[in-house]
């Protein structure tokens, strides 16, 4: 059990024999996926047998929350704290330039926190990372090689403008073991490369008398929708009936799997996108094609995950490895032919989309279907933007089909792994400077007792993009950007968040709002008045 912060001690030394018996850990962090994409979470349209198998062997975490986009979620995962404490108060500071340079808005993971790999390395673990980093790219300062990962193959930027070998590495740099890469092979494809390097790292470390901690964070199926050669037409025609039908089928499958809250209303679908029957035939063809390509990328990702798992099993390491999976935020819908793909080097004809010289986005209608029954998607603090599929699988798991609806956040992953690894929290870095304490709570108990309430009687405040939330059990307050009023939802009774009950519970709103404002003042959460106004800390007119 992680010790209380008032009684922290440095980790004790262990013999090599004891170290050798300690478990391995892999975190899988996927990018911009939907709540019901996997079969284990209700999807029936995309075959994902490898991920489904390990999910069903573990405990599916159906009330797991992240931030609204990639970078703040990753900062919370790597630090065990909130995104402001970790330095990512805002992912895109160009959208709020007045915040730049303020405490909590450094734009990279800061020295105020110890990262998970730094803690694991200090506790005797080998540390590997393969995939998307997006937490800073200053060599020698805040790359993954600088923050605790011994072996790294990392995409440094937030999104890849190519899943194939790019012609402009200066715009989307990759780093290998602390050095920027000058070139990539002609047959490069992101998912395959991430798996290749992760297998190499683990294989190279087998001879060492140490367990490993690994973070695998592929970019697929994040835009652009570019499919591995040979997979382009695997789902041809499958989505011709449109996203309204998929939304109903996904929700029905999720309900049958038991991964939706009992009170979720699955009779309706979100209406962010234009209804399918109002689209022209040309629009339907291009939009259905975008989902075909997304499905192909997801299915291919599952196959590559299977290749990594096969290596672990064949090498005898899977039986001693904990696996934790989560997505980084809700699905992201947009206009299929958005401005990002408006470049003369792309051929976005219907015959060419999905290939290496194309750039299209997943349509909003599919994102609505992927996040249903939850409200909205990536970028929003409503449940559709922050409640994501997640699970934990223990190496000695014998039960199948376990589910926990305990409220969790991505901050809880760090203390969970530390408890299972027997690593105690330390409060200073290598220079002896104090670091912020871990905010998350271990959910290791859920492996034995799925009904355990991890955050009982706790208030959990979070913010990104000037959208603020605070959880207290099933209660959630939500404040939109530039607003002073708080919405109140009981996400246990109304997980769709269609019923704002703030008027019925003014005292509860006031209590929870006061808790949030105290947290905002403590960690330096900034707000702006409506356009033309000044930046402010906290809300309700706080200075």
- Cβ(505)–Cβ(532) under 8 Å? no
Report the C-alpha gap between 203 and 223 in whole angstroms: 31
Is there a contact between 535 and 99 (Cβ–Cβ < 8 Å)? yes
CA 21, distance to chain mean position in Å, is: 30
In terms of phi and psi (left: phi > 0; alpha: psi -120 to 50; beta: otherwise), the region of 137 is alpha
SS3 263: coil
Q: What b/e string do you get for 240-249 counting C-beta neighbours within 10 Å, with b at 16 or more? A: eebbbebbbb
Catalytic (active site) residue 70: yes
The active-site residue out of 65, 84, 108, 134 is: 134
Catalytic residue among 70, 269, 326, 455: 70
| Residues 137, 27: Cα–Cα separation, whole Å | 21
Are 149 and 116 spatial neighbours (Cβ–Cβ below 8 Å)?
no
CA dihedral of residues 472, 475, 480, 482 (deg, nearest 10)? -60
**Cβ contacts of 287 within 8 Å, gap of 6 or more:** 243, 279, 336, 363, 365, 366
Give SS3 for 139: coil
For strands 535-537 and 526-528, give the pairing.
antiparallel
Chain centroid to Cα 403, Å, comes to 19
Residues in contact with 472: Cβ distance below 8 Å, sequence separation at least 6, in sequence order: 458, 459, 460, 512, 515
Is the peptide bond prior to 373 cis by the omega test (within 30 degrees of 0)? yes
Active site residues: 70, 134
């Amino acid at each position: 059990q992680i010790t209380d912060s008032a009684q922290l001690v440095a980790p004790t030394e262990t013999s090599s024999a004891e170290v050798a018996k300690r478990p391995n850990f892999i975190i899988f962090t996927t990018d911009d996926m939907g709540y019901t994409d996997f079969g284990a979470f209700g999807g029936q349209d995309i075959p994902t047998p490898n991920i489904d198998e390990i999910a069903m062997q573990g405990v599916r975490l159906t009330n797991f929350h992240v931030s609204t986009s990639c970078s703040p979620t990753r900062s919370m995962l790597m630090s065990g704290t909130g995104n402001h404490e970790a330095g990512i108060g805002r992912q895109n500071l160009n959208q709020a330039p007045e915040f730049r340079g303020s405490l909590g808005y450094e734009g990279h993971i800061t020295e105020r926190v110890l990262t998970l790999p730094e803690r694991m390395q200090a506790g005797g673990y080998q540390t590997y990372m393969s995939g998307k980093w997006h937490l800073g790219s200053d060599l020698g300062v805040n790359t993954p090689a600088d923050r605790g990962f011994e072996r790294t193959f990392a995409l440094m930027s937030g999104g890849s403008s190519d899943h194939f070998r790019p012609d402009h590495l200066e715009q989307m740099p990759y780093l290998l073991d602390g050095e920027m890469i000058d070139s990539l092979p002609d047959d490069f494809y992101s998912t395959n490369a991430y798996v290749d390097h992760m297998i190499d790292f683990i294989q190279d470390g087998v001879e060492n008398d140490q367990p490993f901690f690994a973070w695998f964070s592929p970019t697929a199926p994040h835009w652009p929708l570019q499919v591995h050669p040979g997979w382009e037409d695997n789902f041809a025609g499958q989505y011709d009936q449109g996203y309204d039908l998929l939304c109903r089928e996904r929700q029905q499958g999720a309900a049958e799997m038991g991964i939706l809250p009992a009170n979720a209303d699955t009779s309706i679908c979100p209406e962010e996108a234009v209804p399918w029957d109002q689209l022209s035939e040309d629009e339907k063809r291009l939009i259905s094609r975008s989902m075909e390509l997304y499905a192909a990328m997801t299915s291919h990702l599952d196959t590559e995950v299977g290749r990594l798992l096969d290596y672990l099993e064949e090498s005898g390491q899977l039986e001693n490895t904990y696996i934790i999976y989560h997505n980084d935020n809700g699905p992201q819908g947009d206009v299929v032919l958005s401005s990002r793909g408006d470049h003369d080097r792309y051929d976005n004809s219907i015959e060419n989309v999905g290939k290496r010289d194309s750039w299209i986005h997943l349509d909003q209608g599919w994102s609505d279907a992927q996040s249903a029954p939850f409200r909205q998607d990536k970028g929003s603090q409503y449940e559709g933007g922050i409640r994501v599929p997640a699970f934990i699988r223990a190496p000695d798991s014998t039960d199948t089909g376990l589910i926990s609806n305990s409220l969790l956040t991505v901050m809880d992953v760090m203390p969970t792994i530390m408890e299972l690894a027997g690593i105690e929290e330390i409060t200073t870095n290598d220079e002896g400077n104090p670091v912020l304490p871990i905010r998350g709570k271990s959910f290791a108990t859920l492996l034995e007792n799925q009904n355990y309430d991890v955050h009982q009687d706790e208030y959990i405040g979070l913010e990104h993009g000037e959208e603020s939330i605070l959880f207290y059990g099933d209660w959630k307050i939500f404040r939109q950007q530039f607003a002073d009023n708080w919405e109140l939802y009981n996400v246990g009774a109304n997980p769709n968040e269609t019923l704002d009950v703030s008027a019925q519970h003014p005292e509860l709103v006031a209590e929870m709002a006061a808790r949030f404002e105290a947290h905002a003042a403590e960690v330096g959460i900034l707000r702006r008045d409506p356009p033309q106004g000044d930046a402010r800390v906290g809300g309700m007119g706080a200075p």
